[in-house]
Amino acid sequence: MNILILSVGTRNKIIQYFVKELSGKGNVVATDMSTLAPALYEADKYYIVPQMTDKNYLNIILEICANEKIDGVLSLIDPELSYLAKYEEKFKEVGTQVIGSSEELCELALDKFQMFRWLYSHGYPCARSYINKEEFYMDLDNKEIQFPVFVKPIRGSASISISKVFNKEMLEILFAHDQNLMIQEFLDGQEIGADVYIDMCSGNTVSIFTKRKIKMRAGETDKAVSFKDDRLFEFIEHFVKDAGFRGQIDIDIFDMEGKYYISEVNPRFGGGYPHAYESGCNHMKLIVENLLGHANTCNVGEYKDGIYMMKYNEIAII
């Protein structure tokens, strides 16, 4: 059993967990475009590859899969998720399974406005969003929305270029420099992170871990505490089944006075996943079982609550 993880960057813990799970069973192979990606050195073997936009990128990754006898491949960055799903059949030809959701769902998750439209049309509470400034101003005048709001790229990840905007002047300045932006309602509630695994064999949600976020830094959870709520578990399971996601996903949710709002969905391991793993949700094992053709049993909520996660800096010397 060999697994290839692309664009590993600084996700050292993710690589460590896979290496631990495959110890004595197989190898973890990692890639990145930089030799200064510290997570590379946690893997059993690594490759330096060009950017995903390189015309030879697909052939290079397929060659690695063939040479290393890779059983499953996944990526840790959003833009690459759709890419892998798009060429799923090519990977099958070399004996490799793409671990994750369909290209359509990966694209939906990457396009924040399309995700809003999907959530709204399917009746899920979510942050009101706009790509048309005039529609926003109309609702602002009608007091259907108010400042502050968030302005963010329509297609983006890692909270890059997100601004909290307090007035029209700030909003106009941002849109004058970039038209590919959207305006999103500011949800002033408790932010929640959910690490979810949907079995690739059965299609059932088999693991959910939820945490209340205490502090954020650079778009990632810096401090959080685990908790359980059966009503939230049911809400997540319903959403996942409705949308059709597969494999590992990360969901951002807001608790607004007891009502849950979905903010964003990332069909990959989130930066806060180590909290789930250390609390008892071993999604690496679930992936390995699926690659072996085994459906996993449901273990939703099988973890300890009241467990705090606190991130701190570490260094790698090579």
Q: What does the pLDDT average to over 230-237?
A: 98
Residue 161 contacts by C-beta under 8 Å, 6 or more apart in sequence?
Answer: 152, 153, 178
Rounded to whole angstroms, what are the CA distances from 195 to 185, 212, 228, 253, 277?
24, 12, 13, 11, 10
Domain assignment present for residue 316? The answer is no
Lowest mean pLDDT, pick from 78-92, 150-164, 252-266, 269-283: 150-164
Domain assignment present for residue 28? The answer is yes
Residue 223 and residue 311 in contact, taking contact as beta carbons nearer than 8 Å: yes
pLDDT band at 161 (very low <50, low <70, confident <90, very high): low
Specify whether the backbone of 179 is left (phi greater than 0), alpha (psi in -120 to 50) or beta: alpha
pLDDT in tens, 187-225: 999 999 999 999 999 999 999 999 999 998 867 789 999
**Same domain membership, residue 304 and residue 199:** yes
**Same domain membership, residue 305 and residue 274:** yes
pLDDT in tens, 178-193: 889 999 999 999 999 9
Domain assignment present for residue 204? The answer is yes
**Same domain membership, residue 260 and residue 168:** no
Structural domain that includes position 36: 3-99
**Same domain membership, residue 132 and residue 48:** no
Query: Mean pLDDT, the chain, as a whole number?
Result: 95
**Same domain membership, residue 154 and residue 197:** no
Q: What does the pLDDT average to over 246-268?
A: 96
Domain assignment present for residue 115? The answer is no
**Same domain membership, residue 142 and residue 72:** no
pLDDT of residue 217: 80
Q: What are phi and psi of 70, to 5 degrees?
A: -75, 130
pTM of the model: 0.94
**Same domain membership, residue 93 and residue 40:** yes
pLDDT of residue 221: 85
Domain assignment present for residue 106? The answer is no
Residue 268 has pLDDT above 60, yes or no: yes
Number of domains in the chain: 3
Point out the domain boundary residue: 161, 185, 209.
185
